[in-house]
Chains A and B, each alone.
Chain A
Amino acid sequence: MFPIKGESALLLAIVFGFVFGWLLQRGKVTNYNVIVNQFRFKDFTVLKVMFPAIIVGGIGVLVLTNMELAKWHVRDANMLATIIGAAIFGIGMVLYGYCPGTGVAAIGTGSIHALVGAAGMIFGAILYAFSFEWVRANILSVGKLGKVTLPQIMHVPAWTLYGALIVIAIALFAWVEKRGR
């Protein structure tokens, strides 16, 4: 029965996107102040959303793959491109005040500057397309590790890492909540 492909999947795309956008709005990560204040360590809402999403999502997907109901979708770790790209992304996210997903969602909440930044995103994508051949030859090709996961390179079971993440999350958020951030 699963996975569903073709036109039914297209309908589902709208439904899943709708749920995603709804959740982002309710979590207030569609708010510029909330995002920027995470990077100023004044408001930990972004991490409060991301940690549970990663832990709950990850443990569920691990169980589902063990039951052969889902497959892994691990992408290639092209280390130089990931590091440079993430560094540029971090600068852009703070200046924009959104990441691409929350930016699109923020437009729906009435944010005009999110819409302007979305035009910037289109511009950035055009720049990337025109520099793609150079990037592929000189950056994407450096430090290719393949589809590797932390359990593989650390030689630790996935369960141990999820357990460690739970401990880290509880400690971090206990600290954060105590300080009202």
Chain B
Amino acid sequence: MSQQQLHQSGGRLSGRWSPYIVGVGIGILSWVVFVVVAAPLGITTAIGQIAGGVVTPILGADTVAANAYWRTNAMKLDYGTLFLIGTFFGALASALISKTFKFESIPSVWQERFGSSKTRRFVVAFMGGALAMYGARMAGGCTSGNGISQSLQLAVVGWTFLAVMFVSGAITAAIVYRGSPSIQSGEK
């Protein structure tokens, strides 16, 4: 399917900008944040902090304060957390303005392979989110913090992360989607 057909396929992919332009935009945003706030783009540090805030009512403030990780990554409404909130609202505004906002529980590529059980999709999404976060914290960043912010500085940590996560993801996808027909992203 050509890029143009993808545009015409409608659904969630209308209002699409060229991915190359989006990439250039993220690159320029990186210049701005490096100069203006001296804080590279990143996501998961804030989620780690929020997790500490989430468990505080359950485990008690003392347990959380005594934890070696949360001691240096305490829940606070800091730059990273607000950036995360901004990311949510930016995507929301863009989806609403381009009239592509749509509730989705089961994406078509998933449905074709695993059927229409919401429970199944939700359980795997939860597990996937947990693994992605655990891995990102161990590696010190995710696709944003490591994959973009470190890789653009040609840092060893960024390119190691990108290469390993891509191979790991491709192997996982080959196993999870083995024998699945080749549905395209734009077909809904």
Interface residues of A (CB under 8 A from B): 2-5, 9-10, 12-34, 36-37, 39-43, 45, 48-58, 60-61, 64, 69-79, 81-114, 116-130, 132-133, 135-136, 139-140, 145, 147-151, 153, 158, 161-162, 173, 177, 180
Q: Given contacts A3-B37, A23-B22, A54-B148, are A89 and B83 in contact (CB under 8 A)?
A: no
Interface residues of B in 62-97 (CB under 8 A from A): 67-70, 77-95
Decide yes or no whether B23 CB sits under 8 A from chain A.
yes
Q: Given contacts A49-B22, A93-B169, are A110 and B80 in contact (CB under 8 A)?
A: no
Decide yes or no whether B60 CB sits under 8 A from chain A.
no
Q: How many of chain B's residues touch chain A, expressed as a range?
A: 35 or more
Give the residues in chain B near A128, CB-CB below 8 Å: 48, 69, 133-134, 137-138
For the complex formed, measure the closest distance between the CB of B89 and the CB atoms of chain A, giving whole angstroms: 6
The secondary-structure label for the interface of chain A is helix
Interface residues of B in 30-65 (CB under 8 A from A): 30-41, 43-44, 47-48, 50-52, 54-55
A95 touches B176 (CB 8 A): yes
Interface residues of B (CB under 8 A from A): 1-3, 5, 12-13, 15-17, 19-20, 22-41, 43-44, 47-48, 50-52, 54-55, 67-70, 77-95, 98, 100-110, 121-122, 124-144, 146-157, 159-174, 176-177, 182-185
Give the residues in chain A near B166, CB-CB below 8 Å: 39, 90
- Give Cα A14–Cα B132 distance, bound, in whole angstroms: 24
- Give Cα A42–Cα B80 distance, bound, in whole angstroms: 33
A97 touches B107 (CB 8 A): yes
Between A and B, 28 residue pairs with Cβ closer than 8 Å are A2-B35, A12-B37, A20-B86, A21-B91, A24-B91, A26-B17, A31-B12, A37-B184, A39-B172, A49-B20, A49-B23, A56-B23, A56-B24, A57-B26, A57-B29, A61-B31, A78-B157, A86-B163, A96-B129, A96-B132, A97-B110, A100-B142, A108-B91, A109-B95, A117-B132, A140-B138, A147-B155, A180-B5
